[in-house]
Structure 1
Amino acid sequence: MGPRSRVLCALVLLLCVVCPDQATATKYDALYKDPSQPVGVRVQDLLKRLTLDEKLGQMTQIEMTVANASVIEKYDIGSVLSGGGSIPAPNATAAQWINMTDYFQSGALKTRHGIPEIYGIDAVHGHNNVYGATIFPHNVGLGCTRDPALLKRIGAATALEVRATGIPYVFAPCIAVCRDPRWGRCYESYSEDPDVVKSLTTIIDGLQGTPPKGWKGPYVQNSRRVAACAKHFVGDGGTQGGIDEGNTVVSYEELVNIHMKAYPDAIARGVSTIMASYNSWNGVKMHANKFLLTDVLKGQLGFKGFIISDWQGVDRISEPWGVNITNSTELALNAGIDMIMVPYNYTGFLDVAKQLIAEKKVPMSRIDDAVTRILRVKFEMGLFEKPYGDKSLKNYIGALSHRSLAREAVRKSLVLLKNGKTGSKPLLPLSKGAKKILVVGAHANDIGLQCGGWTITWQGMPGNITKGTTILEGIKKTVNSKTKVVYKANPSKGDAKNKGYQYAIIVVGEQPYAEFNGDNKNLTVPDPYPELIKDTCSHVRCVVVMVSGRPLVVEPFVDHMDAFVAAWLPGTEGNGIADVLFGKYDFQGKLSRTWFKRVDQLPMNVGDKDYDPLYPFGFGLKMGLES
């Protein structure tokens, strides 16, 4: 090495010692681009480079149907989402999904600072928008498993299927505590008991990965995991009359001890985001509640991720919706909402937000707090290093191992409520070698009905909407090859009489629904099922399998049944029901909800003074199979 070379080396070394940031910046152009820097350093370096327009863009989430690469680039959009049923094409493949998400990402990476957008989707019981994905039981069923390890495994499987479509962010889990089954979202709740809900936040570890001990802040382990979203903060399951988006009238102590109980645990698990709820608490909209969002959630509970609004949640602060967007936006931003799920009128939101800041009605410190939180999540996820989808994961969509896991979840979620009439032997387990059996009810042979809402479309729908195994198919695969299985969706009266059936399996339930469309004041079993149960069970021994998102009124005809099984909304793997009915496995599920007698008893929850259920919380029989 010559004298000149030695001098140059000395100067470089001196620069590294005296000003290490400048040396790093020479290599990476900017500190925020250097993955070896602490996340806090990267966030602050990037934040100080952003204009107001760029900051507000980061706070904006828009629907995919109004998004394109040019819009994302022009407005520095921070996030895109698929609403329920919003897809790139009918029955889209993993490749089509990734092509779409990568296209949107290409627009974000062309912005001045190349900040990746974060694509979000509802994956509330598996990757439910995607054709061919594994659909797990809805939360009401998973709550009956009382199995935190199972929930963690489901989270990890869901994360892989979501990442296989190029998506890094899911609006799950729902950790609401449903206190009234008349609520149309009750099936999204694990239980009426806050301790059961808290115990199943392990799904966050599956979705995101398990953070190191003592970790504080958002956490996503690697690019095979996703950012999760605990929702909805707070009190959504406690509205008066179970009215969706209604008013939760409870004391602060009750709000904390029931509806907020799972949130500290979710935060300790590093949950990346939390979604504000549509409901009000004692008359104040949650999206405008600064005390709960800022003082409690960010302050007392120490949440360091970002708070996202629900779909048009800011608009709904005003009554009727959208009447005074300026006032609603001011209230929401000052309350602590960080990312606004607009989802359509993004230019309107951006204009209003800029106006509010110019008029000093929203301080810049509030905007900087929001953007800091959003950038922190993006850096923790590694999106700056790996912004595009991983096409090598495509085979995880509906993978056999995931379907096997879902089948296990179905088995463990089933609750046996009755097995045998007075004075008679138990009907279950059913004989596989029966000569002739009857299967009754449209729910027995319909993937859409057994999956329920939030499946392929927002509301769900009957029919062959995705890949899977119906309950009837599971039965046929389980019984002896010589057993004659007769299926009738809606037999005529007396049809089961003197036909030589050894027993009947009657599968009944609700039609699919989601959110407010599922609010139900009566909770009766839909026609024609009540008469079908009475008639069929009067001619042949019968087991009734109920496919529903909540308990329904069955007291008037439960005495007609020889056996009664709550199957909830089991998802795509209907063979899990046959596994248990025919005795390959015993029942394990325990009611996560009180099964009431009459709707005039509601709300009724375990621990209430006048507790008089048909089947109490925690109830669940076994067949007594030998281990």
Structure 2
Amino acid sequence: MTDVTATPPTDERPWLDASLPVEERIDLLMTAMTLAEKVGQTHQVANIDPDADAAEIASGRISSSLYASGPTGGNERDEGVLVGNIDAAQRHAVEGSRLGIPLLFGRDVIHGHRTVCPIPLGIAASFDPDVAEEIGELAAREAVVDGVAWTFAPMVDISEEPRWGRVAESLGETPVLAGRVAAGLVRGFQGDDVSDPDRLAACAKHFAGYGLSAGGRDYDTVSVGENTLRNLHLRPFKWAVDAGVTTVMAAFNDVDGTPMHAHEHLLRDVLKGEWGFDGMVVADWNGVGQLVNAGVAADLREAAVLAIRAGVDLDMCGGAYLTHLEELVESGEVDVALVDDAVRRVLRLKFRLGLFERPYAARPGASNAPTAESRAVALRAAQAAHVLVKNDGVLPLDASPDGGSVLLSGAFVDEGDALLGTWVLDGRGEDVVSPGAAMRARLGDRVTVADGRFSDVTLQQARRAQTSVLLLGEHPSRSGEAQSVTDIGLPHGQLDVLRAVARLGKQVVAVVYTGRPLDLSEVLDLADAVLVVWHPGVEAGNALVSVLLGDIEPHGRLPMTFLLSTGHIPTSTHQRPTGRLIRADVDHEEGRYIDALTYPRLPFGFGLSYTSVEYGAPVVSSPTLPVGGSVTLTVTVTNAGDRPCREVVQLYFRDPVAEVTRPLVELTDWALVDLEPGQAREVTFDVDAEQTAYAGRDLTTRVDEGEIVLLTGPDSARLQSVSITVRNDS
């Protein structure tokens, strides 16, 4: 955006005086606005046309535009954002309208813009909010070159439903992980000051409960009580709000019969009231209009009433507000104060972004093509997302010239687009370093690279190689919005090839590209080593080779539970105790399933490195934890192997007796610890009573006196415990 004020302040437009506080500028502008102009500020269109929409823009009937190929834009590419169109439209708004209110332009910049980083589930696998912040900052810096001022990310929906394609966009199954990584992305997108020309407004979505869509079917209904919402699904949104996120998107789903676009209690009472969120709530694509489809509104007029009362400020691509709000206010059916509140929030965002000072997007000579610097960010992020889930001593591969022959085979060997993942609107396949290219560059004649189209050829090649590295997994078209599945197994045919290669008795490494947790039971049984690498972005090949050859140690951890089968859904760290005691070692005797055990194949937080790390028993500084105070927990971790590593030391807790049922284990903190071979380090966590807080039966937050069990270990299944007593000394 050009750093020039388009129209200097005058007595007629005092709100253009940038020296005034934002709220005072909003007051001045609101006083000057007609009801029709106010309503226009609540209306967003898709793919604005500066010529066809010129009159609507100049009359103040359009507030914002998003650029997308359609309502499920993450599944198909569009022509991209044309800065010339943005500035032409902006001129109509700034120079051709009565009030000179700039337009707000948004786009889905989810895990990178031109330089694409791992999908959000892969970002979460890093367990590193700093990596998330770096990705958000890079994405913002590139997106503003194309005129984007607002992104619809991060998605913080909590889900234990891998059939749901949108888990690819999620940040894991636990509130603390999702919340901290989301906060990192918000800081990266928005910076310390969202008016910085190189930053974007962020959007926490989808508020709320979207990850509970029935059967993993996108857009489906949600049956959940408010206690579960508060103790689980609302918490990462609160992290994002506390991090300063400027916008929140309402969810498509209903919550126990009330669609979120009409949910006055959660949007207006909780988000805006209880939490004090002063930003803008935006509808999802035609979310207001879909109240008619949901059967709670007879027509768009009634839908507009429900949504504005609920607290939806900006109507995305529906037109219900533009068509009906003015008349609804004049007839007395809608209080003008509701419209004023929505408009204030829209204007507040525009002022905070500095759009009144810098409305135009053009940056002559600027480029957002990948650079060495941006690729370095993408490489670090992709490496951090790699999760080693099995290794029978095969990895790392010998990188020396006489290290033996390697076959790299599978549909992904020379892919570009397929490794970018879902919701990539501006990345380009030709920017991707493929696994084949990276492996050829590193191993030369030692490696045979083949796409594996013919299984008999693959077997011949595998027979000649010392080690076969098979690239398995799903194409990104199988994940993302409206891409749910009924079976979380590998796509058809891949296991057949793996079985055949494994029967040769040679070393087999399986690399899994995926947008969701998959049933990897047979893969884990057949392969000597297994890496889960998600969809890693433009540095896919370089990241993979650096891990396979041991240039860096794998240090990602699973942000979602990997189940034994589709039939085990849902299983996660959300499990709460029931009236019948559950013990993992004997639950098959307790009538859980008659045909299978119930424990996950790979638990939340699981991940290996190329060394072994030993954990001592946790020790607390005091057996009592005063309400309002804290204790320290210390655990000694020792690298017992001969390679360095980064260990993700995890802290969980369990509340044995509470007013409502609580999780059997709940992640509350973690630490990233670098260990040299043979090194032991004491890792200390500060634990305060507020970390044990939860919403009770009356939905208010409480901290109970009594026993709390703290547990430390490398993942949610391998834990050692120590008990403390929470006590109110006041």
The TM-score normalised by the length of structure 2 is: 0.75
In structure 2, the residue matched to 1:41 is 24
Name the structure 2 match of 1:13.
none
* Residue aligning to 1:576: 543
2:42 is the counterpart of 1:51? no
Give 3-state SS (helix, strand or coil) of 1:391's partner. coil
Q: Which of 111, 116, 120 is the equivalent residue of 1:125?
A: 111
Matched with 1:223 is 197
| Deviation of the 1:589 alpha carbon | 0.5
Instruction: Provide the rounded CA distance (Å) in 1 between the counterparts of 2:358 and 2:404.
Output: 58
Alignment of 1:275-314 (within 5 A): 275-314=249-288
2:727 aligned partner: none
CA distance in 1, matches of 2:369, 2:55: 30
Aligned partner (choices 89, 100, 108) of residue 93 of structure 2: 108
CA contact (8 A) 1:448 1:455 kept: no
Which residue of the other structure, out of 589, 593, 596, is the alignment partner of 2:556?
589
394, 407, 410: which one aligns with 2:366: 394
User: 1:517 Cα deviation (Å)?
Assistant: 2.8
More contact order relative to length (CA 8 Å, sep ≥ 6):
1
> Partner residue of 1:21?
none
Residue 206 (1) aligns with residue 188 (2)? yes
**Cα distance between partner residues in 2 of 1:252 and 1:187:** 25
Specify which of 422, 438, 459 is matched with residue 474 of structure 1.
Answer: 438
Tell me, yes or no, if the aligned pair for 1:272 and 1:377 is still in contact at 8 Å: yes
Q: Which residue of 1 aligns with 2:211?
A: 237
Task: Specify the alignment match of 1:507 in structure 2.
Answer: 471
Q: Compared with structure 1, are the counterparts of its residues 241 and 117 closer, same or farther at alpha carbon in structure 2 (3 Å cutoff)?
A: same
Spell out, residue by residue over 1:557-586, the C-alpha distance to the aligned partner (whole angstroms, 9 max, x if none). Answer: 421101111011111211211111111001
After superposition, give the CA deviation of every residue in 1:445-500 in whole Å (9 maximum; x if it has no partner).
2122212221238xx9xxx7452211222222222x34242313323237424742
| AA matched with 2:405 | K
Separation of aligned partners in 2, 1:147 and 1:198: 12
Structure 1 position 74 matched with structure 2 position 63? no
- Of 514, 519, 522, 1:556 maps to 522
Instruction: Using the aligned pairs only, state the percent identity.
Output: 30
| 2:346 is equivalent to residue 374 of structure 1 | yes
Q: Tell me how far 1:314 sits from its aligned partner.
A: 0.9
Amino acid corresponding to residue 157 of structure 1 in structure 2: L
2:370 aligned with 1:384: no
Structure 2 match to 1:83? 68
Q: 1:70 to 1:435 in 2, by over 3 A?
A: farther
**Preserved contact between residue 76 and residue 111 of structure 1 (Cα < 8 Å):** no
Code of the aligned partner of 2:355 = L
Question: Are the equivalent residues in 2 in contact too, given 1:494–1:535 (CA < 8 A)?
Answer: no
Unaligned stretches of 5+ in structure 2? 1-7, 583-597, 612-642, 645-675, 677-730
- Structure 1 pair 223/495, CA: closer, same or farther in 2 (3 Å)? closer
The answer to whether residue 313 in structure 2 is matched with residue 338 in structure 1 is yes
Pairwise CA distance, 1:392: 5.1
Q: Structure 2 CA distance, aligned partners of 1:287 and 1:27?
A: 39
Q: Distance in 1 between matches of 2:306 and 2:365?
A: 42
- Is residue 32–residue 45 contact of structure 1 (8 Å, CA) maintained in 2? yes
Task: Give the AA of the match of 2:121.
Answer: V
Q: Deviations over 1:520-541 (max 9, x none)?
A: 1211210221111111222231
The code of the aligned residue for 1:339 comes to L
Q: Which position in structure 2 is the counterpart of 1:153? A: 134
AA in 1 matched with 2:566:
V
CA contact (8 A) 2:110 2:423 kept: yes
2:164 and 2:173 map into 1 onto residues whose CA distance is 12
Give the C-alpha shift of residue 429 in structure 1. 3.5
Query: What CA distance in whole angstroms lies between the structure 2 residues aligned with 1:591 and 1:580?
Result: 16
The residue type equivalent to 2:548 in the other structure is L
1:127-526 equivalences in 2 (<5 Å): 127=113, 133-200=114-181, 201-210=183-192, 220-319=194-293, 324-343=299-318, 346=319, 349-391=321-363, 394-420=366-392, 425-431=393-399, 433=401, 434-456=403-425, 465-479=429-443, 481-493=444-456, 495-497=458-460, 499-513=463-477, 515-526=480-491
Instruction: Using the TM superposition, name which of 435-444 and 140-149 deviates more.
Output: 435-444
1:300-349 per-position Cα deviation (integer Å, ceiling 9, x unaligned): 00000110000111121122689622221211111110001025xx4x64
Q: Which amino acid aligns with 1:203?
A: L
Task: State the shift of 1:65 in Å.
Answer: 5.3
Higher helix share: 1
Please give the per-residue CA displacement for 1:273-293, whole angstroms capped at 9, x wherever unaligned.
Answer: 100011111121001000000
| Maintained 8 Å contact 1:287/1:317 | yes
Shift of 1:439: 1.4
For residues 226 and 233 of structure 1, the distance between their equivalents in structure 2, rounded to whole angstroms, comes to 20
Shift, 1:355, TM fit: 2.7
**Cα 1:282–1:413 shift into 2, 3 Å:** same
Letter in 2 for 1:358: E
Q: Is contact 1:174-1:189 (8 Å) kept?
A: yes
Contact 2:413 2:449 in 1 (8 A): no
Deviates more, 1:507-516 or 1:356-365: 507-516
> CA contact under 8 A between 1:444 and 1:507: conserved in structure 2?
yes
Matched residue, 1:15 = none
Aligned equivalents of 1:289, 1:430: Cα separation in 2 = 58
Alignment deviations for residues 585-607 of structure 1 (CA, whole Å, 9 cap, x no partner): 01000111101001111111115
CA deviations on 1:415-452 (whole Å, 9 max, x unpaired) are 001111xxxx4343354534532111112221222122
Pick one of 493, 496, 520 that aligns with 1:528. Answer: 493
Seen in structure 2, the aligned counterparts of structure 1 residues 427 and 588 have a Cα distance that, compared at 3 Å, is closer
Q: What's the CA shift for 1:79?
A: 0.2
Q: Residue type matched to 1:112 in 2?
A: R
Q: 1:199 to 1:372 in 2, by over 3 A?
A: same
Per the alignment, do residues 427 and 154 of structure 1 end up closer, same or farther by CA in structure 2, a change over 3 Å counting?
closer
Do the aligned partners of 2:69 and 2:78 also contact (CA within 8 Å) in 1?
no
Structure 1, gaps ≥5 residues long: 1-24, 128-132, 211-218
On the 8 A contact 2:126/2:384 being kept in 1, the answer is yes
For the Cα contact (< 8 Å) 1:35–1:385, is it kept in 2? Answer: yes
Structure 1 residues 607 and 91: CA distance shift in structure 2, 3 A? closer
Higher deviation after alignment, 365-374 or 515-524: 515-524
Whether the aligned pair in 1 keeps the contact of 2:118 and 2:421 (CA below 8 Å) is no
Question: How big is the shift at 1:264?
Answer: 2.2
Change (3 A) 1:273 1:372: same
